[in-house]
Structures are given as structure tokens and as C-alpha cells.
Amino acid sequence: KAGVTQTPRYLIKTRGQQVTLSCSPISGHRSVSWYQQTPGQGLQFLFEYFSETQRNKGNFPGRFSGRQFSNSRSEMNVSTLELGDSALYLCASSPFFGEGTEAFFGQGTRLTVV
């Protein structure tokens, strides 16, 4: 069974640009969450999608947005990039939304803003 796939693995963007990151969950998983991780920091929750609906949202500005498609694949978009957006962006998939749910992570997309 394939794991969570995130593309691209590495990305370099210029300040002010926008970027779209992609996540394909484990087959059969319907919940996808996104996290930002900066060097030496823990995981900061961005948002979670289940059945194409955003179920939870973290404390990030509106420049960060996401969506989920009918096949459970998800994308997140960051507009007007800032230097501080440089981070490892992690996607996690779960079978469903709710109690007893375990999250399985992809390898992440390393975004560098210059």
C-alpha cells in the first residue's frame, strides 16, 4: 500500500510569488491535514480536510489556503510569499475524521523563499 505522497519535495520561490503544494493520501483515507514545521520547531497545524470540506483550521493568515478534491487528494496554496514562510510543509492522511484517528505523514515539501 503506497504511503502519503507529497510533491514537489523541494521548492525555491521568490518573495511575493505564490506556490501550490500537492498531497496524495493513502488509498482509502479521506482526511488530509497540513502542517508547517520550521527548523527546530514542532508542528504548527494549518488545516484539515475531510470529504472536500475544511473541518479544522489553525492560526495562520488568509494567505494560506487549501482544498480537497473528490478523490481525497489535497492542495495547499500560499500567496504573496514571505521569507518567514520558508519551512517544511507536511501533509498527513487519516482514514476518517474523528476519535481514534491516527495520522500518517508524507516526507514533506521543503519550501525556501528567497
Partner 1 sequence: GQQLNQSPQSMFIQEGEDVSMNCTSSSIFNTWLWYKQDPGEGPVLLIALYKAGELTSNGRLTAQFGITRKDSFLNISASIPSDVGIYFCAGLDSNYQLIWGAGTKLIIKP
Q: Return residues touching partner 1 (CB under 8 A).
A: 4, 33, 41-45, 48, 55-56, 58-59, 88, 90, 92, 97-108, 110
* Nearest residue (CB) to partner 1, 13 versus 110: 110
The minimum distance between CB 28 and partner 1, in angstroms, equals 17
Residue with Cβ nearer partner 1 (66 or 108) = 108
Cβ 98 to partner 1, closest distance in Å? 5
- By C-beta, is 11 or 43 nearer to partner 1? 43
Rounded CA-CA distance 31/100 in Å is 13
CB of 13 to partner 1, least distance (A): 19
Minimum CB distance to partner 1 smaller for 16 or for 98: 98
DSSP sequence for the chain: ----EEE-SEEEE-TT--EEEEEEPPTT--EEEEEEE-TT--PEEEEEEETTEEEEE-S--TTEEEEE-TTS-EEEEE-S--GGG-EEEEEEEESSSSTTPPPEE---EEEEE-
We find the least distance from the C-beta atom of residue 16 to partner 1, in angstroms, to be 27
